[in-house]
Structure 1
Amino acid sequence: MMKRIFSRKTAILMLVLTLVCTAISYGADGIAQSDLNTPYRAGYIEGYIKEIDSETITIERYEGGVYKILLPTTAALQIDGQQAKRIDFKPGMEVYAEIKGRSIQYMDSFSTQNLGYIKPGSKMRTGTIKFIDRNQITINTPMGKDETYYISPATVALKKGQNVPLSVLYIGDRVKLYFDNITTDIISRISIEGDSIKIEDLYKGKIVTVDELENAIFLENVKVLSEGKWEDIKGGLRISYSSDFPVYIEGYEIPANNLKYYKGKEIYAAIKDFFGEAKIERLVVKGAYETTYSDKIKDINWFSENLELANNRNIAFNDGTIIIKSNRIVDKYSLNSKSDGFFIANGKGKGLVADVIYIYNEDINNTNIGQNNIYAGRLDEIVEYSVKLKNPFLVSKHQWEGFEDAKELYYDNDTFIYDLEEDKLITSKEFYTKRYAVDEDSEYAKDRNLRDWYGYMYTDGDRISVIGVQEKLDSLLRQRMTIGTVESIIDNNLVGKEITIREAKDWSSRHEKWIPKEMSLKVNLNKAIIIKQDKLITYQDLEVGDSLYIIRDDYKGKVIIVKE
């Protein structure tokens, strides 16, 4: 009898050991891992190529550990920002790869093969932009270290493979910085991550179950933040997450693998789109009582980590607070007094703590790298490469401000000049030789009843990037500044070119803040100039999800700026 019992125990023990050993050995080749810190759960890997064959690639992470990962033919591959082939990747090269499931979806590298030799543009740093001050950029690296580098007139910025102005940079962008030699701090090239960095939605829901094997959380009673209020989503929701994503409760960070212990708790989750799949970027476990405010930050006490709203409410914040600005996750030091926002706080009485701070503020310029302005006014004098405005108006603090002194601006052959009356582009030569250039005081003009034209000008400093010209000046008093996100785009015989804007907010000069609208807003683009990356684009170039800064006369759009 004793022998039988011993044999059964031995068999069970051997079975357990076999399963454990199998799991460990299975994890050694990198195709599947029980370790919660694997790149499969993180969704990306950075390090050095050790081997590459027709189906897989073996990568040694910077932090240590070697992983053999499937590299399908459908993976997007780049080297130095250019499309590449599998054969172009060599052992010893440093790579960054994004993973979905058990396969690489995207991978890039730079061209140095001999790590002892630094070719121009070969030193690289990756990180998230934490601070921008004119020619200075501070990034937070994957190792959690803040590093500061500098831009010069020769620094090139790339996004989605296209050359873009440095003014498109935002705090919260994930970037790769390239340098011409190993000792310099001057950036030669900046590669900006695409739209996958953007926060798509903010959810609230109750945890039902946590699937640690598939890195997914199941929620019920789910709501999404829309137009400044919570809206119900029918049915439950399954959302993926990475094992190393931040989870907080009342300012304390907890490991993601401890989420299973919070079953039944409500959470707030900031969601981004990861290769077409919703994925949690940040998560906060909700406290006891929720209070929401839409207000302006009056003052910030950095010592006590408290902010005072315009309504005199005091709300604490901490490292766990989800702070969203320009649709990006930013840290607490990106908060500024006078910013408008939506605040979700928990607690009671005076002990309120912010779980979520959603900053509304958008401006013409993302940071002080940009020097863009919008002018409107009478084209009093047009000569070759120069325009003089009479009684010009300038957008200042989201409203038109008039000036008595004339303003001279400059254009060139690369300036986009658009005739809003004829709905067509014109050349710089046509601009100063044809009907747009009028001397009202001349007998010729008086005899023919010719009048000065008017224009909306988008400038970089005093250089005109885009100008839309028309015969009469609109009533600027009726116009308002609006920010929001493109919900739909149509073009039909009834209304022409029209967009619907969700999360729309109008600037109130009286209250000096952005005031959310309670419903979506429609804007007509038939007589508008649309600008993206300092260039004139058409309504067909707009995409659902684009963030816009709009100057409009009620339904009629006048100037539309696409924010990256």
Structure 2
Amino acid sequence: MRRLNISFIAILLFIVTLNFSFVSGSTMYNGVNNATATFENMSYSDIYSSFAKGDIMRMTALAVIRGNGNGLYYPANNLKREEALAMILRLMGKEKDVQVAQNSASGGVPGVAGTTSSGTVDSWAQGVITVAKNTGLLSKQEQSLDFTKNATRQEIANWIAKGINLTPVYGKDAQYVYSYKDSSLFDADKLPYIEAAIESKIMSGYSNGYFGPNDYITREQMAAVLSRAFNVSYAMMGYTKDMGYVESVQKDSVNGGMRYTYEIKNDSGQDIALVSENSQSANYDFAVLKNGVAGLSSIITSGDRITYYTNGSNVVFAETESTSSSVLSGTIDAVWQGSFRLIDDSGNSYIIYYNNNTQLTMNSVDASISDLKYGETVKVTVSGSTATRIDVAYTDLSGNGQVNLGDRQDSGKITDIETNNSQVSITLDNGNTYTANVDMPVEGGSGSLSVGDLKVGEYIKLYFSSISSNTPDEVFLEGDYNKAVAVIRGTISGVSGFNPKIQLKDVQIYRQGQWNTSSDYSMYSIDGASVYLNGLKIPVSDISKYKGYDAYIMVEDHYGTDTATLVSIQNGFNMSYVGNISYDGNTLTVTLSDNRQVSVNDGTIILDDGLLVPKDQLSKVSQAYISFARGGGANFISILDTNAPSGYYYAFGEIDKVTSDSFTIGNTNDAYAINENEWEKIDDKTFYVGDKTYIIDNSGNTPIIVNYNDFINQKYGQNADSNIDLMKYGYVYIIAQKDKYDDNAYDAIAINIYTGYNFDIKSYDLISTDRVTKAVLSSINGNVLTLDNVMDWNGLNNNWELNTSLDSIDVTKAVIVKNNKVISVNDLKSGDSLYIVRDGASGIIVTVQQ
């Protein structure tokens, strides 16, 4: 009998495990006990012709609007001030405070209409006005208003902006309020908050160009305003908002009733279970709004895209997106987990979601959703904002292994580059690896580029004429795609609008190891941004919950709009470090020179040559600037390139001898060469010179190009009295490379003539003020280069140190070398790593590091 009981228990446990295996690894939210009452409250009988029908039901379900028990909302009626303040205080999560204040004011017994110590108010609203005063919602002047009178539009804008903590906009930054024809009617003391409400798209003017500051607001208009404000402030009521799609609906018999489990894959890739049950032991559900119709969870079906609101461990309300379908065509601009960005032929941008139910075809042949890639031309059938079908236009491959150039393509962000002799191996963010010759030309970008110039973090397109080859026939650099603008930090003050923008105050911009004040207030689009809180990914919609936290943001140029693409939020005390580092890719930690360790995570912004790069690039560097939370992870790392360009020989000295194919320095006066980033005295040195050697005379006020033959013919100059060689040119800077045939000789790539002959000064005195500097090119203006991450070599400490006082150099009299060839300033491009020999802010030799 005992064995039988054990077997029965085992079978029972197996059945229970089977029934609930779907929630393994899922986060579960149960419905609430009052869901049926909420549904009944939403079902007003007088709102079906109202433009704000959905907003009224939504705000009622979320307890911002309260019904009066008779099933009527009176949408067209004007709203009293006390009614408006009651709704706004609920939006602020202050309803409990109002109830406590009301009981205190009336002794728990309803009173009669009358006046408070200041202002007229109905008895039911005495607690409302008390809390509105105590929270600062009402100004001192407003406290004497008659609150039984109708509210005006400018009062609503002012109170809502204050209530949900929008940042007021002052001075020259206030523009929207002055764009209305009746701007003179705004109350001056309300302008900063009205501007914030308009800027956040919570309120707007009429189509005729007027705002109507003193017009009354109706109850249906207020519902629409509250609904938009709620998108920013829902966390104030204790709600969490998330979005996803319904993968399946599970139905189980339990305790004489039914349990429904709605399996959700949210936009962060997490598995969520929303549960309702109606049985002998439990009765909970949640209200739902679907296609303008209120109901309970039973109206949700598999494939629905929903927004759901939770409070603690309970789901309170969900709404589905509109099921109206449309067809969009364009090019895929970016692909993320669960969504992608589409750019249509008119340049419009759309964020479109996909899921396991999305059908994908390539030329009408079924394909996998993993085949969705940047650069593909697609036709998308969209329901709401979710793709139900994606058709990729792709040219069929021919049978002989060859295709027309461009028919086979690949594209993406470079995540790794390895160079082996003349071959470059390039890995894209889709995992594909290709090889190309280092000298292969690259189209796009600026200047003359080759594959050897490409960098990790850049976006490229590859074109092939062979089906199976991993060597492209053409490479195109998307020079303006996701171009890095800046790394900034600031304090989060909110999120505005339906095309959301993150609002920041006390904004600073990173430059050369320092955070410089940029503005008191800024907003950046977060369309498609990845957002992390202390290293953990969170939905974009959750940003507003972290007002007052610091955000570190990678800002990129998305088709002319400064857009936040990576947002790292932290709440710890911030610290910074500049110096040597070592990176452990297994533990994802950076060890500093003082043995402190800082963790690196997916939310860490890592910048190299102005490009956002993956974590494994840290294993290739020895110095960096790191910003991190004390006891926490790194929020921003700027890689400092400390490698000197290989293959170049830098020398300085006086020309002593010239032959038909060479010249020598260091016989008469000391000569010097750069060794480990410092000038070091050398013995006399001979350099071969040819007709491709670039020679420029900068001994005068204006640079003069010197002909090869004129330079060589110095050897025919003679001093009549002493019968010795008379050189035309004196001290020169030389950049050279080793001769292919003589290991002891060097071939001069360029010669920068610094003085004429008989220049009476010692050679060391000429170079004593020279500095060896590394930097990243930021921008070009004529012959002036604006620099970033400027580092000077410190010979005493034997390391590179950030120079925060130098941000540009003049290269009018400099020689610029790249790929062993002299180039013009116009051939440089933003992001180039430069190795510079300079005197003050004047460049002498500039080499581009590959």
Tell me the amino acid that sits aligned with residue 727 of structure 2. Answer: L
| Equivalent position of 2:552 in the other structure | 268
Q: Find 2:843's aligned residue among 538, 553, 557.
A: 557
Contact 1:326 1:362 in 2 (8 A): no
Cα offsets for 1:480-534 (capped at 9, x unmatched)? 112346789889xxxxx76675653312122233222343456454543244676
Q: Given residue 199 of structure 1, which amino acid in structure 2 is its aligned partner? A: A
Structure 2 residue corresponding to 1:333, chosen from 608, 616, 622: 616
The 2-side partners of 1:533 and 1:540 are apart by: 15
- Deviation per residue, 1:1-56 (Å, 9 max, x gap): x9xx786587758996269999543653369xxx964422569xxx9999xxxxxx
Q: Which moved more, 1:282-291 or 1:161-170?
A: 161-170
Q: Which residue of 1 aligns with 2:798?
A: 512
Asked if the contact 2:377–2:392 (Cα under 8 Å) also holds between the matched residues in 1, the reply is no
Distance 1:275 1:364, change over 3 A: farther
For 1:103, the equivalent position in structure 2 comes to: none
Assess if the C-alpha contact under 8 Å between 1:362 and 1:549 holds in 2: no
Change in CA separation of 1:147 and 1:538 when aligned onto 2, cut-off 3 Å: closer
The answer on whether the counterparts of 2:555 and 2:562 sit within 8 Å (CA) in structure 1 is: yes
Distance of aligned partners of 1:42 and 1:385 in 2 relative to their CA distance in 1, 3 Å threshold: farther
Match of 2:709 among 421, 429, 432: 429
**Structure 1 residue 399 and structure 2 residue 678: aligned?**
yes
Measured in 2, the distance between the counterparts of 1:207 and 1:226 equals: 21
Distance 1:272 1:323 in 2: 14
Rate the CA distance shift 1:547–1:333 in 2: closer, same or farther, 3 A: closer
Distance 1:500 1:374, change over 3 A: same
Determine if contact 2:447/2:827 at 8 Å carries over to the other structure.
Answer: no
2:727 counterpart residue number: 450
Q: CA deviation at 1:308?
A: 1.9
Give the 5 Å matches for 1:72-111: none
The change in CA–CA distance for 1:191 and 1:306 in structure 2 (over 3 A counts) is same
Structure 1 residue 29 corresponds to structure 2 residue 308: no
SS at match of 1:235: strand
Q: Give the 3-state SS of the residue equivalent to 1:334 in structure 2.
A: helix
Unaligned residue ranges in structure 1 (runs of 5+): 51-58, 70-90, 95-112, 492-496
Decide whether the 8 Å contact of 1:155 with 1:187 is kept in 2. no
CA displacement, residues 384-403 of structure 1 (integer Å, 9 cap, x when unaligned): 66556658654444333454
Distance 1:457 1:300 in 2: 37
- Point out the structure with max Rg over C-alpha: 2
For the 8 Å contact 1:220–1:236, the answer to whether it is kept is yes
Q: Give 3-state SS (helix, strand or coil) of 2:324's partner.
A: helix
Check if 1:466 corresponds to 2:779: no
1:449 is displaced (CA, Å) by: 4.2
Cross-structure match for 2:379: 66
Decide whether aligned partners of structure 1 residues 246 and 389 sit closer, same or farther in structure 2, where only a CA change above 3 A counts: farther
Gaps of at least 5 residues in structure 2 are: 1-39, 58-288, 294-318, 331-337, 343-348, 353-359, 364-371, 383-390, 740-746
Per-residue deviation, residues 254-313 of structure 1 (Å, max 9, x unmatched): 34344344344321002233344322232211231211112221x333332222222332
Given that 1:439 and 1:452 are in contact with CA atoms closer than 8 Å, whether structure 2 keeps it comes out as no
- Give the 3-state SS of the residue equivalent to 2:641 in structure 1: coil
Aligned residue runs from structure 1 range 126-275, under 5 A: 126-135=411-420, 137-141=424-428, 144-152=429-437, 155-160=440-445, 162-194=447-479, 196=481, 198-211=483-496, 213-243=498-528, 245-275=529-559
Q: Which of 558, 562, 565 is 1:278 aligned to? A: 562
* Cα-to-partner distance string for 1:320-369 (whole Å, 9 max, x where unaligned): 22111111111111114762221111133xxx42111112225554xxxx
Task: Work out whether residues 528 and 559 of structure 1, in 8 Å CA contact, stay in contact via their aligned partners in 2.
Answer: yes
User: How much identity, in percent, do the aligned residues show?
Assistant: 22
Higher share in helix:
2
Q: Aligned pair in 2 of structure 1 residues 38, 330: CA closer, same or farther (>3 Å)?
A: closer
2:774 maps to: 483
Q: Is the contact made by 1:157 and 1:164 (CA closer than 8 Å) also made in structure 2?
A: yes
* Shift in CA distance, 548/63, structure 1 to aligned 2, threshold 3 Å: closer
**Alpha-carbon distance in 1 for matches of 2:414, 2:722:** 55
Equivalent residues of 1:376, 1:456 under 8 A apart: yes
**Partner of residue 641, structure 2:** 361
Rounded to whole Å, the distance in 1 between the matches of 2:448 and 2:822 is: 15
TM-score, normalisation: structure 1: 0.71
**Paired positions, count:** 490
Alpha-carbon distance between aligned partners in 2 of 1:48 and 1:514, rounded to the nearest angstrom: 54
Render the CA deviation track for 1:440-467: whole Å, top value 9, x for unaligned: 9x99984464377443334466554433
The match for 2:605 is 322
What's the C-alpha RMSD, in Å, of the aligned pairs? 4.6
Q: What one-letter code is carried by the residue in structure 2 that aligns with 1:249?
A: L
Code of the residue aligned with 1:265 in structure 2: it is Y
Aligned to 1:107: none
Residue of structure 1 equivalent to 2:291: 17
Q: Which has the higher contact order (CA 8 A, sep 6+)?
A: 1
Tell me the SS of whatever aligns to 2:554.
strand
Equivalent in the alignment of 1:105: none
In the other structure, the counterpart of 1:78 is none
Query: Aligned letter for 1:426?
Result: V
Provide the rounded CA distance (Å) in 2 between the counterparts of 1:478 and 1:220: 43
In structure 2, how many angstroms separate the alpha carbons of the residues matched to 1:202 and 1:215?
19
Q: Indicate whether 1:125 and 2:410 are aligned.
A: yes
Which amino acid in structure 2 is aligned with residue 353 of structure 1? Answer: G
**Cα pair distance change 1:312/1:553, threshold 3 Å:** same
CA distance in 2, matches of 1:488, 1:63: 32
Shift of 1:214: 1.9
Contact 2:419 2:425 in 1 (8 A): no
Q: Whole-Å Cα distance in 1 between the matches of residues 483 and 597 of structure 2? A: 29
3-state DSSP class of the match of 1:429? helix
- CA change 1:448–1:438 in 2 (3 A) is closer
Structure 1 residues 311 and 499 mapped into 2: Cα distance closer, same or farther (>3 Å)? same
Larger deviation, residues 389-398 vs 276-285: 389-398
Describe the SS at the equivalent of 2:796.
coil
Aligned residues of 1:290 and 1:347 also touching (Cα < 8 A): yes
Residues 438 and 557 of structure 1: CA distance in aligned 2, closer, same or farther (over 3 Å):
farther
Indicate if the aligned counterparts of 2:677 and 2:793 stay in contact, CA closer than 8 A: yes
Distance 1:550 1:25 in 2: 60
**Which amino acid in the other structure matches residue 357 of structure 1?**
I
Q: CA deviation at 1:168?
A: 2.3
> For the Cα contact (< 8 Å) 1:374–1:459, is it kept in 2?
yes
Question: 1:382, 1:448 → 2: CA distance?
Answer: 9
Q: Equivalents in 1 of 2:587, 2:624: separation in Å?
A: 20
| Letter aligned with residue 704 of structure 2 | K
**Measured at CA, do residues 524 and 228 of structure 1 come closer, stay the same or move farther in structure 2, by a change above 3 Å?**
same
Change in Cα spacing, 1:62 to 1:171, as seen in structure 2 (3 Å) is closer
